[in-house]
Every structure is written in structure tokens, then in C-alpha cells.
A and B are shown apart, each in its own frame.
Chain A
């Protein structure tokens, strides 16, 4: 799976929510499509938001080489 940008995923989820909020004419088929997409995005986002240790790298030596 290509690496998903978390901000973009969250933005898309927000868009889907807005879509649901602004539905005047109900379109269940489209709604189903949207919910599938939303669920996938949420799954991806949750995976990325799982507590992951930060990577620490000290770069002083590289700086001194330059």
C-alpha cells in the first residue's frame, strides 16, 4: 500500500463527513461508497496514529564533516 499522507487522509474524512452533513437528496448508493472510503481512510489514519516511538538521530557529526 502506498504511504498515505495522514493530513490528506484526515482531510478526506472531513470531506466525507461534510458530504453527509450537507446531503439534501439522499443517495444511499453514494453514501455506501462514501462510508466505505471513509472506513478505509480511518483505518489507514488509525494505523498511522498508533503510538509509534519517535526516531532520534543525532546529526552533529555530519555537520562537522561539512
Chain B
């Protein structure tokens, strides 16, 4: 209904007017330089006033706390700063304020002062301590890369990386100016959400003035680098301007070229190592093998010499034995000869004895023959028996006895007719 009324009357309500003004003002973003004259830092918003140095004109400004933190500039009364923002009228009180997005310190001197202060603060927190530094994987393969798509840095980096088969995930960001800090932080967060996929996080850009490297001296960015779960390699700026982000990184070098060379260094070394040992390893083995061969040959010699000694010993022994054998044989043979002689003697003796015995026997026989009754009978004597009994006395007979008379040849029977005593 109100709108309808305004259409009819052509009059705007206050709110309508302010809305229209704000619409117009939103297209009037500006970069304003001035001196801080008042600061009121609340929980969610920081209010401050900018004063014109020449005519004391003032401008109300506000910045949301998170943007203030990211800006990395802690303003104080008297600081000369540059702010970027959009003007807006706060409807409840009709005040015009500049809604600031980015605050920058003005002038190299101020920047240097801020840099030194922040450096000291981070150092005291131990963020630069060597114990915090992680060692980069020796042979990184999966690289998370943050740098600008434009400029020489990306070209220098890729040209010097060499063909190692790296998997590079490249997140292009601004590396200078007001958007750089936010973009780099969100890129670091993006890669860290999948930190297991990467071996190393590389952030690089070419050198420049302290002002152009400002993003890398930003506190929020430096803290984000320090928090990274992926080991970090920072190649930002030249040696004279070491940025705070570089100081908190695990490894820092000064140029994109040096960054690439750091990544490939161990790959080149590994290549040399492998080529070296491709030849060296068989050589080591040959060395060992020939060592053993020589040793074996030597052992063989020793064994052979032992064998020779042994053989000689056997020959000597054999000669010795056969000598002894011959000697023994001769003894036996000698003994045998002796034995034969003995046998012969024995036989002769036996024969002699036999002869002697037979002579004796013959003699006895002769003697016996003399006693033989038959011989007497042959001489004419006779044997007289009475029955079986030989009669040697006449008394053994009586007249009338029948006596048997044996003669040399045949027997007689006779009767006793007369006895002559």
C-alpha cells in the first residue's frame, strides 16, 4: 500500500529513499587513503574513522572481523592506511559508512614496520623453529601447486621441473593484490582437505617489492601454511625479501626455478645412483666371486700338496712293507729248508732204527729157533706125553700105561713094559 501511495504522490518514504541511495552507492566502490583517527574493535565488527590529513575531513568505516583478520593489518590511531570498500548508509541512524573489504598499510616504511612486528610475533610463537620443519619426501610424485596462471613463475617452474612423471594438481590463484590472500588460503585448504593425495604443497611466485609480496607476509596466510598437513615448499620472492609464509614453510627457496629444482633434485640423483649401480652391482659380485675363486684355487693347491705328501707316504710304506715281506719270505723259506733236512735225517734215523730192530728181531728169532722143540725133535728126540702131560720122570708112569710119543714127523702110541729107574 505504501508503494502504491508513493507511486501516486511521487514522494518517497525515508526507507525507500535510503534504499535507493544505497543502491546507487553500491556502484561507488572506492580506494581511499587516510589516517586512522579512531578505532573501536567490537566482537564481530571493527569500526574506525579515517581522517583527511589536509582538511580534517572524516569518513566512518567498518570492517567485519573475519575480513579484518585476513587483511593482516592491525590498525592503530595515527596509521596511514588505504582501504577498499563500498559506501553504505546505515538506515537506523542515517550514517554513511564505508564498508571496507581490504585494509592495506601505506608506504614501504609502514609495511616494513608491520612486517618486523609480525615476524617477531610469529618467531616468539615458535613458528619458524627448525624442530617444526618436516623433511620433504625424497622422491615426491604428487604435487599440489599454488601459483599464478599468468607471469613468468609458472613457466619457469614447469620448464625446470623436467620430465619425472610428476602428477601436478595446479590451483591458479592471484599472488598479488587484495584477492591473493583469500585465494591462496582457500587453495591451501582445498588441498589439505585431501592431504593424503599429495606428497608436497608448493606455493611459488617470482620476486617483487615488499608491497607486491604483501600477501605472503599476511598473518592469516602464514598461519595457514604452518597448519598444512602436507609438507610445504615455498618458493616466493628473491633472497633479500624473505616472506613470513616462507619462514613458516618446511622448506623455502627463493624462485620458481629453485622450487622446481628442489623437487627434481633427488630424481636426478636417483637416476645417477641407479645408473652407477647398474654397472657397479655386477662388478661387486664379480669381485666377490673372483675372491672366492682365488680362495678355492688356493685351497685346492693346499689340498693337492697334502695329497701328494700322502701318496709319497703310501709309496714309502708300500716299499717298506714289501721289503719286510721279502725278508719274512726268506726266513720262512730258510725255515722250510731246515725242516726238510730234519725230515730227511729223521727218516734216515728211522730207517736205521728199523734195520737195527729187524736185525735184533732176526737174532732173537735165531735164538728162539734154537729153543724150538721141533728142532730137537728133528734131531731125533721125542716128546712123551701121558694124556696131555709131558713125562719128564719115569715115576710119572706105570707099567701098562699108554704113552703118546711125538716125533719130528708124526706120533706114536707105546705101552710101558718095563720101568728102569
Interface residues of A (CB under 8 A from B): 6-7, 10, 13, 16-17, 20-21, 23, 26, 28, 31-32, 34-35, 38-39, 42, 45-46, 48-49, 51-60, 62-63, 66
Contact = CB atoms under 8 A, between A and B. Distances in A.
A26 B280 CA distance: 18
Interface in B269-306: 270-271, 273-274, 277-278, 280-282, 284-285, 288-289, 291-292, 295
A42 B168 contact: no
B139 A35 contact: no
A35 B282 contact: yes
Contact of A32 (B171, B274, B280, B285): B285
B26 interface: no
7 contacts: A45-B274, A46-B278, A51-B162, A54-B166, A54-B167, A63-B171, A66-B190
Interface residues of B, number: 37
B64 interface: no
A55 B292 CA distance: 49
Determine chain A's interface SS by DSSP, over half rule.
helix
Interface of B: 137-139, 158, 161-172, 186-187, 190, 193, 267, 270-271, 273-274, 277-278, 280-282, 284-285, 288-289, 291-292, 295
A58 B284 CA distance: 47
A6 B164 CA distance: 12
B289 A28 contact: yes
A50 B399 CA distance: 170
A20 B288 contact: yes
Contacts of B270: 6, 10, 45, 49
